[in-house]
């Protein structure tokens, strides 16, 4: 009887609330998908790494400017891409946790475009998500950066670690327009844990979006203070 009720419920939902693409709102026909193949194919992926200071494209995936920067930026796409931006916003603020397979595939496809130049994947490397404050994670129900980091870890056979704690509840960075305000807001919010997981390791530090860079800069500072070697900050999109 219970299985019959579940089946009846699914039939009811498929009739009165048919699955549609989150972007174009066209009927998909597959309730497990949230974006149609046409919209997904329109997302343009980058083919290089970037300088996190001036956002210049690093054609050979190595520093050609701002050599003092403690990390390199890997951005799968551009936040001006309306389809990618819409997916990220739904994922992050509308609790579409089941978008993680789609966004995870975008992340993996981008990294595959960089190989074999992305030699950090062949050395002693950990994948580490930017942590959320515990109260925000309880409210949202998941950490979007952790879901993307998990996909990268699985596909490239790299250990997934959580070497940082977020000890300070900060304002939402997206709501702060001034870069100085963002830097002050995020200052001192991360603490290292499991230092042995950081020292001597290369780190792929994962977040969803790179805007001012304040959050990643603060996290990189703590990782470097605790012995991290090369750091690549990985995001789905850069603004």
CB 199 within 8 A of CB 171: no
SS3 state at 194? coil
The confidence score (pLDDT) of residue 30 equals 66
The confidence score (pLDDT) of residue 48 equals 93
CA-nearest of 210, 172, 218 to 52 is 210
Q: Under 8 Å CB-to-CB from 219, ≥6 apart: which residues?
A: 130, 164, 190, 205
CA angle 22, 172, 125 (to 5 degrees): 80
The confidence score (pLDDT) of residue 225 equals 96
The confidence score (pLDDT) of residue 10 equals 39
Q: Render 32-87 in DSSP notation, one character per residue.
A: T-SS-HHHHHTPPPP-SEE-TTT--EETTSS-SS-TT-S-EEEEEEETT-HHHHHH
Rounded Cα distance between 191 and 139, Å, is 22
Rounded Cα distance between 175 and 178, Å, is 9
pLDDT tens for the chain, residues 1 to 239: 444 433 433 333 343 456 889 999 888 866 667 899 999 999 999 999 999 999 999 988 888 899 999 999 999 999 999 999 999 999 988 888 989 999 999 999 999 988 755 666 667 899 999 999 888 888 888 999 999 999 999 999 999 999 999 988 776 777 667 678 888 888 888 999 988 889 999 999 999 999 999 999 999 999 999 999 999 999 999 99
The confidence score (pLDDT) of residue 169 equals 77
Q: 100-114 and 82-93 helices cross at what angle (nearest 10)?
A: 130
CB 73 within 8 A of CB 49: yes
Ordered alpha helix ranges (H), 118-230: 134-140, 144-156, 179-186, 214-225
């Amino acid at each position: 009887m219970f299985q019959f009720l579940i089946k009846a419920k699914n039939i009811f939902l498929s009739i009165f609330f048919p699955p549609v693409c989150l972007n174009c709102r066209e009927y998909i026909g597959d309730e497990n998908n949230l974006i149609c193949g046409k919209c997904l194919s329109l997302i343009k992926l980058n083919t290089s790494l970037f300088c996190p200071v001036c956002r210049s494209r690093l054609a050979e995936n190595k520093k050609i400017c701002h050599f003092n920067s403690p990390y390199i930026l890997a951005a799968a796409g551009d936040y001006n891409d309306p389809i990618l931006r819409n997916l990220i916003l739904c994922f992050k603020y509308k609790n579409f946790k089941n978008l993680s397979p789609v966004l995870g595939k975008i992340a993996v496809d981008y990294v595959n475009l960089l190989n074999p130049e992305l030699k950090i994947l062949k050395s002693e490397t950990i994948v580490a998500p930017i942590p959320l404050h515990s109260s925000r994670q309880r409210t949202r129900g998941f950490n979007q950066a952790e879901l993307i980091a998990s996909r990268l870890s699985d596909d490239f056979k790299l250990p997934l670690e959580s070497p940082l704690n977020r000890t300070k509840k900060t304002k939402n960075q997206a709501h702060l327009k001034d870069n100085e305000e963002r830097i002050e807001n995020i200052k001192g919010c991360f603490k290292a844990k499991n230092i042995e997981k950081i020292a001597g390791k290369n780190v792929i530090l994962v977040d969803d979006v790179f805007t001012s860079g304040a959050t990643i800069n603060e996290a990189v500072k703590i990782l470097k203070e605790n012995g991290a070697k090369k750091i690549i900050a990985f995001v789905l999109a850069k603004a």
